[in-house]
């Protein structure tokens, strides 16, 4: 835990940010779960140990962390924005398969060949067309999972 902690601290400092208590706790929570948590989920976890940290602070902190590039914010269509760390030892770059029925989110890293080719070709053509340097992307596919199909 200590090692990760330092790298956030350094990264935050280099991006001009401060390591405030809510940030620290949010990093800690998001790095210790494979789940995509909503602001309310995070609030619930924090509140048990730090009742002083309010929901507004959490919303604000999450927003800042998204803006300075530490978190991905997702809308999976269930009415709650969800968050995950962009870089974490337990999270590699992955894509999402999202079930519309049970809201299950499947993270996968075992990309198919067609997908890799498509992403590469699309990024290349897009950056040429819009003179835009692409650094990252988010892929999510919506549908019905195996369990819900039965």
Q: Is residue 99 a contact point for Zn ion (CB under 5 A)? A: yes
Q: In angstroms, what is the minimal distance from the CB of 124 to Zn ion?
A: 14
Half-sphere exposure of 30 (CA within 13 A, CB side): 30
Contact of 137 with 128, CB cutoff 8 Å: no
State which residue, 101 or 124, has the beta carbon closest to Zn ion: 101
The CA distance from 121 to 115, in Å, is: 10
Residues that bind Zn ion (rule: CB under 5 A) add up to a total of 8
Half-sphere exposure of 134 (CA within 13 A, CB side): 15
Q: Is residue 145 a contact point for Zn ion (CB under 5 A)? A: yes
State which residue, 102 or 118, has the beta carbon closest to Zn ion: 102
At 110 the three-state DSSP class reads coil
Query: Which residue in the set 60, 101, 117, 124 belongs to the binding site for Zn ion (CB under 5 A)?
Result: 101
**140 is written with which tokens?**
């999510």
Q: In angstroms, what is the minimal distance from the CB of 58 to Zn ion?
A: 20
Q: In angstroms, what is the minimal distance from the CB of 51 to Zn ion?
A: 29
- Tell me which stretch binds Zn ion (CB under 5 A): 27-35, 45-53, 127-135, 140-148: 140-148
The CA distance from 150 to 144, in Å, is: 10
Q: Is residue 107 a contact point for Zn ion (CB under 5 A)? A: yes
């Amino acid at each position: 835990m200590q090692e990760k902690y330092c790298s956030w601290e350094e990264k935050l400092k280099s991006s001009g940010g401060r390591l405030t208590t809510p940030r620290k706790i949010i990093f800690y929570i998001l790095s210790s779960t494979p789940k995509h948590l909503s602001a309310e989920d995070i609030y619930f976890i924090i509140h048990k140990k730090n009742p002083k940290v309010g929901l507004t602070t959490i919303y604000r902190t999450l927003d800042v962390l998204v803006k300075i590039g530490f978190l991905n914010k997702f809308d999976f269509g269930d009415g709650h924005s969800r968050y995950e760390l962009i870089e974490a030892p337990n999270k590699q770059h992955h894509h999402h398969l999202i079930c519309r029925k049970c809201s299950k989110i499947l993270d996968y890293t075992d990309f198919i060949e067609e997908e890799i080719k498509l992403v590469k070709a699309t990024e290349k053509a897009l950056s040429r067309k819009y003179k835009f340097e692409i650094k990252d992307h988010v892929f999510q596919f919506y549908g019905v999972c195996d369990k819900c199909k039965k």
